[in-house]
Structure 1
């Protein structure tokens, strides 16, 4: 006779809801094994003289639920191997709803030559639909309270969260829900739904969820579906929908007219506005500007979608796959002990990606891969840095200083005797040499110039402020007075910044 395990569901806890087939199987079992005896149906088993053995002791000898479930599965397979008759295993609710031991048995029984039979019982979901009064056809998801992620939440679906065993789990669930839902959102906490005399239903604000003290094995949380903008506005799906509407036939005339080329400067400007917030110590402003930059990504993706090229989901997929592929030390078996190792992995994988596309990295120009559209100082810095990697560089700082001085003299000569074209060229050479100097000093030229710009902005603003205090406009002053105020600003603002 083939070894066999029969799994039966004890239902939601009301003996009147137990199926006849399950009851017959319970009565006929030579030996009944329970995942846990902490269930309302256990009283019926005792009252009818049905003997059983539970695996509750395993919960005490293991530190995680995963270890407990593996241990139960091991024990059941060992029992099946030794028993002359089928092993009957009873679980709360329905065997295929939130029952990890059954999933483990389904995976392992075929490999060990054990036949597995499942007999359904009423799950807690059946009673949730009845007691809470919602129709799952409206959109419904069942989530695990012990492993809840904000990425799984969708406010447009009814959300039932099971396995909320205690106040600690309820607190974790609450904090996760509050990342998406407003604090005062009404949630429903149900205990022992459908069990006569034991059912409790609490309708409370989300922030009070962990103030309840009667959580147990038969507890769940229901978050009703909602179309309220406050919750939806925190989802990527809503952003995607809004951009689609803006670009749609009934959307905004300006947004509909935009192209990749017309939005070119917007993308650059929004990126620089984000950079500006890094020095402000204003997180709200930074979040706003990052949103403006994200909008540019969404608009370009929607323009491509309208033209049948790709969608924002393709953008996300490509990025996710690239991040996983280029971080084998995180998502794979590779090692990276420090940032240098991680960067080396990244660069090697980039080269391999080119080879897979039929591109020989060795045949590419050394300076390829540096975007032409980078700001001039930044591109000069990257070009010089890459050339220096193969030895095309000055050996000492004094050599660089000499080149800067030489370029300065050539510019002065061009100003004296040459045309505007030559002056343009010599000024470019001087700027390029200054970028080289910044590289030797280990100073990012863009950052240095940004600091200089900021300093000029503040000092000029001081001049304007002082003239206004004197009741003057710029057309009522002269360069001498402004120079005096400039020198004053250098002293005053230096003191303020210390």
Structure 2
């Protein structure tokens, strides 16, 4: 004796024009009127429902599910569950009708595709006209030019590509349109022209409205049949926010048709530029100048792009390999964020980071037991910073002073040895003793929890400010340095110190 297989058939109701409903879909819907199947609608809010009513076709809807749950994910899961249980419990076919096409922006169908095989339910789909068909027709663009379909409820900056036509669905209401506007403004100018389509293809209800992006949420009438079309950009300036365009520009600059200077650059010739640009970024941080920082970070990024482009030309790696490696490393070294580890504070996070670094070395076959404690400090760091890092590494194994006073005593000792070298020794001995003194001062800075680079940078700025005051005072009096003795300059210096305290 054979048992009847439970059956769910999903029918696409199309975009709302009854002339566009497929004959197969209409025949399937009519089965409900003959009591040969039960018909369920995801929502009654669709123009084709009038045709069902006019032809006395009985149906049930899941509109109540939207009120019973807090998120769309919960709504869709509850609909799929109800359909599965109904199909298993009743003998006839279950027909489930959805707006548009069953395979376009219809999450309930995706859930059914996942669940039905495991539940022993036969699932079949009957296509309907998708809203995309009407979008191509009514908006008037050819998707072969480059096209993407996005969901406004899950859209983010990284989904957007101004070089493609973009159609955005699920713009249910003004609030959704407002959130969408904010997301789009991260990739497009505020005045960029966008098009809103309400009920495309539905006679008497269709509206097509073109507005600047900043007015997107001023339009009325958003609902289940609303779309937003963002036309592809033909303007180069609209692509300036894309990383791809930056890569393309650097590639052009290095090409035979590009810039002679850029073509001649090598890793070695660019070395000093990389360092200079990094220091210029630091200067904007010290000056608390965000606008200038934005510009200087761009100059620093250009150095990264140029070095990567040089390697791309030899086939070793591209800047996208750099990005991929960085992304993978960040995820791997943050197991407390992307994994199951935990970190309650910055110290625990640093422990995780160092553990992952050690694990990476082991996987590369590096015997960490044979490595020096001091390994990992870059060779070409500025002197004060390198001394700081060397001392920190040595301190991790207990090679350190116990009290700040001990370090002060060491500073005094090194100062005495420098005095002696100045009095009795040659240039090499003076340099060595001065280096020892500077090293001990860095150690003192570490105990005081003061970054020596930041401390000397602050003093340099203070010196520039006070010396500039002396120059200004001399200019106001029509004097030059040759006409001024040290005592007068010292007087201005003391004035500058007072002015600095007042300001």
Distance 1:231 1:159 in 2: 14
What's the offset of the Cα at 1:190? 0.3
Matched, 1:125 2:132: yes
Among 11, 17, 20, the residue aligned to 2:20: 17
Note the alpha carbon deviations across 1:195-219, whole angstroms, 9 max, x for none: 0111001111111111112111100
Aligned to 1:434: 441
Under a length normalisation based on structure 2, what TM-score does the superposition of the two structures give? Answer: 0.97
Among 15, 23, 47, the residue aligned to 2:54: 47
Among 271, 294, 297, the residue aligned to 2:304: 297
Distance 2:220 2:133 in 1: 25
Check whether the contact 1:3–1:114 (CA below 8 A) recurs between aligned residues: yes
Distance 1:357 1:286 in 2: 38
What's the offset of the Cα at 1:171? 0.2
Matched, 1:410 2:417: yes
Among 6, 10, 20, the residue aligned to 1:3: 6
Aligned to 1:216: 223
Aligned to 2:165: 158
What's the offset of the Cα at 1:326? 1.2
Check whether the contact 2:38–2:92 (CA below 8 A) recurs between aligned residues: no
What's the offset of the Cα at 1:489? 0.9
Among 387, 394, 402, the residue aligned to 1:387: 394
The runs of 5 or more residues in structure 1 that have no matched partner are: none
Range that drifts further, 417-426 or 129-138: 417-426
What's the offset of the Cα at 1:354? 0.9
- Aligned residue-pair number: 496
Matched residue of 1:147: which SS? coil
What's the offset of the Cα at 1:282? 2.1
Aligned to 2:404: 397
Distance 2:314 2:425 in 1: 51
Aligned to 2:77: 70
Question: How do 1:105-254 residues align onto structure 2 when only pairs under 5 Å count?
Answer: 105-254=112-261
**Distance of aligned partners of 1:478 and 1:253 in 2 relative to their CA distance in 1, 3 Å threshold:** farther
Aligned to 2:383: 376
What's the offset of the Cα at 1:382? 0.9
Distance 1:439 1:82 in 2: 74
Distance 2:88 2:360 in 1: 50
Distance 1:233 1:167 in 2: 29
What's the offset of the Cα at 1:482? 1.9
Distance 1:474 1:141 in 2: 69
Check whether the contact 1:182–1:230 (CA below 8 A) recurs between aligned residues: no
What's the offset of the Cα at 1:362? 2.4
Among 318, 327, 336, the residue aligned to 1:311: 318
Matched residue of 2:123: which SS? strand
Check whether the contact 2:336–2:349 (CA below 8 A) recurs between aligned residues: yes
Distance 1:119 1:235 in 2: 40
Q: CA RMSD in A?
A: 1.1
What's the offset of the Cα at 1:440? 1.2
Distance 1:86 1:69 in 2: 21
Distance 2:132 2:166 in 1: 11
Distance 2:376 2:306 in 1: 25
Aligned to 2:29: 26
What's the offset of the Cα at 1:97? 0.6
Aligned to 2:473: 466
What's the offset of the Cα at 1:340? 1.9
Check whether the contact 1:18–1:122 (CA below 8 A) recurs between aligned residues: yes
Check whether the contact 1:377–1:445 (CA below 8 A) recurs between aligned residues: yes
The runs of 5 or more residues in structure 2 that have no matched partner are: none
Note the alpha carbon deviations across 1:410-453, whole angstroms, 9 max, x for none: 11221222121111111111100110111111111111101011
